[in-house]
Amino acid sequence: MPATDNQGSFLNRISIRRNQVVSMDVNHEQELEDLELFQKHVVDRFSDLLTPQPPPPTAADSSPDSALMPADTLLSIAWFRKLLDAFLCCEAEFKAVLIMGRDPTQFAKPPLDRLIPELLDRTVKALDVCNAITHGVELVCHWQKLAQIGVKALEQRPIGEGHVRRAKKALNTLLTSMTFDDKENNSHGGKSTERSWSFGRRGGGASVNKDRTAGTFRSLSWTVAKSWSASKQIQAMSSNLVAPRGGEPTGLALPVYIMSTVLVFVMWALVAAIPCQERTGLATHFPVPRQLVWAQAMIGLQEKIGEEWKKKEKKGTCGLLEEIQRMEKVSQSLVDFADNFQFPAEAEKVEEVAAQVTELAEICQKMDELVPLQQQVREVFHRIVRSRAEVLDVLDQVGKMSTPVLY
Amino acid sequence: METEKDKHLPEKSGSSASRDAEQDNHDQQDPDPNPKLNPDKDHHHQNNATDNSELPTETKPKQESTEEAENKEEETITENIEESPPPPPPPDLGKVSEEIDQFIHALSSIKDQESDLPEVPDVVEQFAFLSEEKVANYDSIESPVKWNQLSEEDSLSFLEVVDRLSKLTASLTVFSSESKYASSINRMGGVLQRAMSYLEDEFRKLLEDPKFPDFDHGNDLKSSNSNQEVDQPTSDAQESNSTVDNNFPGYYEDVVSDLNRLVKVMMTGGFETECYQVYLVSRRHLLEETLHRLGFEKFSIDDVQKMQWEPLEREIDSWNKTFKQCVTVHLTGERKLSEAVFFDYPSITDGLFSSLSRGIMIQLLNFAEAVAMTKRSSEKLFKFLDIYETLRDVIPSMDDLFPKEMVNELKTEASLTRTRLGEAMVCIFCELENAIKADTGKTTVPGGAVHPLTRYTMNYLKYASEYKDSLEQIFKEHQNMERADSTTESDNDYGNNNAQAVGNNQNAVKLSLFAMQINKVMELLDTNLETKSKLYKDIALSSIFMMNNGRYILQKIKGSPEINTLMGSTWSRKRSSDLRNYHKTYQRETWGRLLNCLTHEGLNVNGKVVKPVLKERFKSFNAMFDEIHKMQSMWVVSDEQLQSELRVSISAVVIPAYRSFLARFSQTFTPGRQTEKYVKYQPEDIETHIDELFDGNATPTGKRRP
């Protein structure tokens, strides 16, 4: 279901509610209803993200017929766009549940007096993740360009040595960049160390690389800040995530918990999929009680992504994004082709390569969606900032934060 | 010798072996002395090649092994004989080039692809051979020719060869389905790729070696007044010679034209993506490095939230400088540079510049955003204002700088950040209000002196009003009306008073929101001070306290034209009259009682002075005056004018009354002992003592005057 519809009808409700005189009873009833609706929508949206399953769970291993996969395969760019849409919708509803028509003094009382600052802290960390992802997407766009060079070169007929070498150089640069240790990449101002990587075809006698066409590796820098670590931030975001105890009336504690879980999940998935500063030790899961109805779909997604991550973690920094995974595979196979190339190529080989080139071209085309994805990440960023400001406003109203001036 | 030759053969025959394998071997062992050519030799070689058409075999300027070269060439020929028609010994490049151009022309004039295509002439292989050799010389592993050391002539001639390669390849590729062209296409494509690969590397190297003239001397980048000087050069700098764009790590003019030539050749050869990416990555790194040099350090938003305010203040200063410079100097320079380097490809420049600057801009804006998110507290107002003003001033200049497709996005980003700051600042004023309300200490300031809260608030407001224009704008644009309403509602007592006071005082003059905010703060302060004044048990002291604070407030406001305008003259008049009232209260409370001792009433009974009563009067006057003196010289009036006003007005009331009282009654006492006993003070003494009041001395030490 399109996200905007939801939001529209939802905003209507808010405005109606704001115009009515809020009596305690109405308020309470409304509260319960909102909460229920909020949970239901979380369930719907995440089930939706879970359902269009790719044929077998090993999406990345079945590259030949990968073109037949549904458009929003798990961890594909399209899937992430859907995920971010879901996040934005959940967030809008959450804010309404939390803020609209609330008695602000609740914020000053347990459990919110503790939960709200924790939530705010989590959102700040999420902002940094958004920024890191923005940088990461830029890097992926760079990869896309390199892959496009490969595509362009190998689309030529007849395939000549020059074309093959050109493609190989670009794809080798791409593959090096994908497997490059991000710590070194991020050493700021370390121009000299970076220089040593710009060996091109003449790396000096010592480093006899397996191939002169290894390409020049000097990729975009994408630091968030010195010693910032995506995995640590995710860790910090999830460490104090505790489900409210059942039994007692939890009030706003539950929506805060749900939203925090959604937030952590989205950020975690982004970090796992898109190149990101310092991901070593990224948790493969964070504890969400299994009995929670609204969390089922999310737990399912988490398990799948966690599995993928365990498989791929050791293999460089490229990330689980479906398009990246396929790009890496196809590129590797094209480089292998280039290694054994002789002019004129056998017709059979040419056909085989043509299929791979088509696939790479198709991946590149899908990657055009990175630009809107990046914008969406930015939208998430701004949304989080704004919501945070609104929550702070409520806190201001409670006056809890005001302290006498120090003169 | 044998192995060397063997290695070289395939290279020359071109179509037989994998280029990579060949190249690898070539790279490692480098059998040919030729690649060791240094640029000078190469120069020499060029001249030979182009000018001495009679000496075709002299194309390799080898002193030590011309023989070997000849041998090799012969072998090449024989090898070729086996495969295809033998090319004659390579003639000179100039002649070959001419023929190649003719061939290209011939190919391009073929309209019907089905018609008879010309056979590939031998000159194509000759050209392949010569150009490959040339490329190999430049692109040698051991001593590659550095582009920036080439003479203009050499670089042009090299580029000419590559350009011809591109064109020939392109012309042949049109007929790629033609099998008789296939091997030539392959051959030319291989040479072209190697040439391009070399050019790509040289392009990168040129880019990675910018001039950092002013950075190295480190002049004025850190000094605070440098902005003007730094900004100046670029604004009127149109030409790009080395003296301009001082702080922009660009390139000398000849390097820029080199870059431009390389771009052209790479573009023509269809290598635009490589060209684009190399440029993008290199410049992006330099831009990041420049920011770093400017003192901008990357912090995560999380880090910024956890930072202490003082270090963060320093980072904000450095951000302000960096941001301004980045936009006015660096991005402007960057844009000009990309326009110069990609001069013939305007459609590329926009995209390139966008990719280059977008990330940087967002990174910079993120810091401002992070600052705006920090916990609001009153002392942060001024740094927030600095950032706010920087953004406000820079945003309009974005229109000229950024391409259309991106300018809206960036302006929106910057405006959002600005809005956050604005909202935060409005909140900071609420914080100030809350802080004033929350200042409910029960301890009084000794001597009725100016309360620290008054000083704090007034200095704060005075300083804030120096940013009057910005704050007016901020309150107008960013005061969330809903919020303002709710605040007024919840603060009924203040809100309404304020509204009324404002309405009455200003006589329907419409106050700006900021002025209203200032008024509100002032009201809160007044209310608070009144409460504080009641903590003094002595009404006179409480009046002195109010006078001190009122006077302080008034002086501050008069001392600052901005805030004076904000508060309006009516307000000042009202404050002055309030002060006079306190003054009167004080006079009455303290000196009224004393003057009661000096009334003539009850002293005269039937025209005669009642001596015991008179004695009593003098005694109580003395005692009372002593007490007042003792007490009130401990009181504090630090404003000199107020102090002297008080003393003058006291003297004016007390001394004439005392003098006339003394004149009228002192002779009643017998001179000597009795007079001395009751008439303790002469009018002059009274004056002296009055002048000792409000000194704030804990122990009155008597006369201080000479």
More confidently predicted of B42 and B132: B132
B189 and B227 in a single domain? The answer is no
* A210: closest chain B residue by CA: B24
Q: A249 pLDDT band (50/70/90 cuts)?
A: low
The amino acid at A398: V
On the question of pLDDT at A183 being above 50, the answer is no
Helices (H), B14-112: 19-29, 39-51, 66-83, 93-108
Strand partners, B609: B604
The full 3-state SS of B527-596, as one line of letters, equals HHHHHHHCCCCCHHHHHHHHHHHHHHHHHHHHHCHHHHHHHCHHHHHHHHHHHHHHHHHHHHHHHHHHHH
- By the 8 A CB rule, do B327 and B394 touch? yes
Q: B419 pLDDT band (50/70/90 cuts)?
A: very high
Q: Is residue B698 part of a domain?
A: no
Q: Is residue B695 part of a domain?
A: no
C-alpha gyration radius of chain A:
25
Q: Is residue B303 part of a domain?
A: yes
Chain B: closest CA distance from residue A64 (Å): 28
- Gap between the Cα atoms of B614 and B596, Å rounded: 13
Q: A85 pLDDT band (50/70/90 cuts)?
A: very high
**Biggest alpha carbon–alpha carbon distance for chain B:** 159
Chain B: closest CA distance from residue A130 (Å): 11
Q: B678 pLDDT band (50/70/90 cuts)?
A: confident
Chain A: closest CA distance from residue B615 (Å): 52
On the question of pLDDT at A193 being above 70, the answer is no
Q: B260 pLDDT band (50/70/90 cuts)?
A: very high
B27 and B165 in a single domain? The answer is yes
pLDDT for B89: 57
Q: Do B186 and A160 touch (CB under 8 A)?
A: yes
Using a CB-CB cut-off of 8 Å, the residues of chain A touching B289 are 189, 191
Residue A290, both tokens: 């299994």
More confidently predicted of B345 and B230: B345
pLDDT for B105: 87
B394 and B502 in a single domain? The answer is no
Q: B664 pLDDT band (50/70/90 cuts)?
A: confident
Helices (H), A156-295: 161-179, 182-186, 191-195, 230-239, 253-273
- By the 8 A CB rule, do B318 and B296 touch? yes
Least confident stretch, A21-25, B162-166, B381-385, B492-496: B492-496
| Number of separate domains in chain B | 4
- By the 8 A CB rule, do B340 and A168 touch? no
Give pLDDT tens digits for B170-221. Answer: 888 888 888 888 889 999 999 999 999 999 999 999 999 888 654 444 443 3
Using a CB-CB cut-off of 8 Å, the residues of chain A touching B190 are 160-162, 165
Of the residues B11, B16, B20, B28, the best mutation for testing chain A's interface (the one with the most A CB atoms within 10 Å of its CB) is: B20
B189 and B217 in a single domain? The answer is no
B203 and B219 in a single domain? The answer is no
Report helix, strand or coil for A298. Answer: helix
The single-letter DSSP state of residue B374 is S
B336 class by beta-carbon count within 10 Å (0-12 exposed, 13-18 middle, 19+ buried): buried
Q: Is residue A32 part of a domain?
A: no
On the question of pLDDT at B535 being above 60, the answer is yes
* Closest to B595 in 3D by CA, of B621, B627, B614, B623: B621
What rounded mean pLDDT belongs to chain A?
Answer: 79
The H-or-E segment that residue B448 falls in is: none
What rounded mean pLDDT belongs to chain B?
Answer: 79
- Gap between the Cα atoms of A100 and B542, Å rounded: 47
Per-position DSSP letters for A354-365, written without gaps between them:
HHHHHHHHHHHH
Residue % of chain A over a pLDDT of 70: 73
φ, ψ of residue B103 in degrees (nearest 5): -65, -45
How many CB atoms are located within 10 Å of the residue B506 CB?
A: 17
Using a CB-CB cut-off of 8 Å, the residues of chain B touching A385 are 369, 373, 416, 420
Report helix, strand or coil for B604. Answer: strand
Q: Is residue A16 part of a domain?
A: no
Q: Is residue A332 part of a domain?
A: yes
CA angle A86, A88, A91 (to 5 degrees): 105
Exposure b/e, B642-675, CB count within 10 A at least 16 = b: bbebbbebbbebbeebbeebbeebeebbeeeeee
On the question of pLDDT at B614 being above 70, the answer is yes
- By the 8 A CB rule, do A313 and A273 touch? no
- By the 8 A CB rule, do B135 and B194 touch? yes
- By the 8 A CB rule, do A338 and A167 touch? yes
- Gap between the Cα atoms of A305 and B385, Å rounded: 45
B365 and B394 in a single domain? The answer is yes
Q: Is residue A327 part of a domain?
A: yes
Which of B519, B550, B580 terminates a domain? The answer is: B580
Assign residue B607 the CATH number of its domain.
1.20.1280.170
* B298: closest chain A residue by CA: A225
- Gap between the Cα atoms of B494 and A103, Å rounded: 22
- Gap between the Cα atoms of B75 and B78, Å rounded: 5
More confidently predicted of B4 and A87: A87
The single-letter DSSP state of residue B328 is I
Q: A146 pLDDT band (50/70/90 cuts)?
A: very high
Q: Do A216 and B201 touch (CB under 8 A)?
A: yes
More confidently predicted of A28 and B410: B410
> Helix and strand tally (H, E) in chain A?
13, 0
How are the residues of chain B apportioned to helix, strand and coil, as percentages rounded to the nearest 5? Answer: 75, 0, 25
- By the 8 A CB rule, do A273 and A318 touch? no
On the question of pLDDT at B34 being above 50, the answer is no
* B24: closest chain A residue by CA: A212
On the question of pLDDT at B421 being above 90, the answer is yes
| Number of separate domains in chain A | 1
Pick from A162, A168, A396: CB nearest B189:
A162
On the question of pLDDT at A59 being above 70, the answer is no
pLDDT mean over B446-463 = 94
Using a CB-CB cut-off of 8 Å, the residues of chain B touching A133 are none
Residue A267, both tokens: 């950020």
pLDDT for A218: 60
* Closest to B324 in 3D by CA, of B249, B382, B390, B421: B390
Least confident stretch, A64-68, A390-394, B592-596: A64-68
Q: Is residue A118 part of a domain?
A: yes
Q: B294 pLDDT band (50/70/90 cuts)?
A: confident
- Gap between the Cα atoms of A172 and A165, Å rounded: 10
Pick from B274, B289, B298: CB nearest A226:
B298
- By the 8 A CB rule, do B121 and B91 touch? no
How many CB atoms are located within 10 Å of the residue B309 CB?
A: 13
Using a CB-CB cut-off of 8 Å, the residues of chain B touching A215 are none
Q: Do B18 and A341 touch (CB under 8 A)?
A: yes
Chains A, B: CB contacts under 8 A, how many? Answer: 197
On the question of pLDDT at A78 being above 70, the answer is yes
Chain A: closest CA distance from residue B312 (Å): 15
Using a CB-CB cut-off of 8 Å, the residues of chain A touching B480 are 393
pLDDT mean over B442-451 = 92
Contact status of B430 with chain A (Cβ, < 8 Å): yes
Exposure b/e, B227-245, CB count within 10 A at least 16 = b: eeebeebbeebeebeeebb
Inter-CA distances, B368 with A173, B309, B319, B372, Å = 35, 14, 8, 6
Q: B75 pLDDT band (50/70/90 cuts)?
A: very low
- Gap between the Cα atoms of A243 and A222, Å rounded: 35
pLDDT for B65: 44
Q: A113 pLDDT band (50/70/90 cuts)?
A: confident
More confidently predicted of B37 and B121: B121
The single-letter DSSP state of residue B330 is I
On the question of pLDDT at B577 being above 70, the answer is yes
Strands B604-605 and B608-609: antiparallel
- Gap between the Cα atoms of A159 and B599, Å rounded: 123
pLDDT for B322: 93
Interface of B with A in 153-182 (CB under 8 A): 169, 173, 176-177, 182
The single-letter DSSP state of residue B331 is I
B334 and B450 in a single domain? The answer is no
B202 and B316 in a single domain? The answer is no
The answer to whether the peptide bond before residue A55 is cis (omega within 30 degrees of 0) is no
- Gap between the Cα atoms of A251 and A110, Å rounded: 11
- By the 8 A CB rule, do A142 and A220 touch? yes
Helices (H), B120-271: 122-138, 152-173, 179-207, 213-217, 226-235, 253-268
Range of the domain at A183: 37-52+74-189+210-398
pLDDT for B340: 93
CA angle B514, B519, B521 (to 5 degrees): 95
What is the torsion angle, in degrees rounded to the nearest 10, for the CA atoms of residue B480, residue B483, residue B489 and residue B495?
A: -50
How many CB atoms are located within 10 Å of the residue B169 CB?
A: 25
B350 and B232 in a single domain? The answer is yes
Report helix, strand or coil for A324. Answer: helix
**Biggest alpha carbon–alpha carbon distance for chain A:** 85
pLDDT for A317: 62
Q: Of the segments A31-35, B28-32, B651-655, which one has the largest average pLDDT value?
A: B651-655
B293 and B412 in a single domain? The answer is yes
- Gap between the Cα atoms of B674 and B669, Å rounded: 6
Q: B265 pLDDT band (50/70/90 cuts)?
A: very high
Of the residues A120, A223, A343, the best mutation for testing chain B's interface (the one with the most B CB atoms within 10 Å of its CB) is: A343
The amino acid at B216: D
The H-or-E segment that residue A140 falls in is: helix A112-154
B219 and B161 in a single domain? The answer is no
Range of the domain at B516: 439-580
Using a CB-CB cut-off of 8 Å, the residues of chain B touching A339 are 20
pLDDT for A248: 54
pLDDT for A52: 64
On the question of pLDDT at A30 being above 60, the answer is yes
Least confident stretch, A136-145, A255-264, B12-21: B12-21
The answer to whether the peptide bond before residue A158 is cis (omega within 30 degrees of 0) is yes
Give pLDDT tens digits for B456-473. Answer: 999 999 999 999 999 999
- Gap between the Cα atoms of A163 and B169, Å rounded: 12
On the question of pLDDT at B91 being above 80, the answer is no
Chain A: closest CA distance from residue B21 (Å): 9
Residue B248, both tokens: 């922009």
pLDDT mean over A347-370 = 95
The contacts of residue A365 (CB under 8 Å, 6+ apart) are none
On the question of pLDDT at B1 being above 60, the answer is no
Q: Is residue A30 part of a domain?
A: no
Inter-CA distances, B314 with A1, A333, B298, B317, Å = 49, 52, 13, 5
* Closest to A214 in 3D by CA, of A181, A180, A153, A170: A170
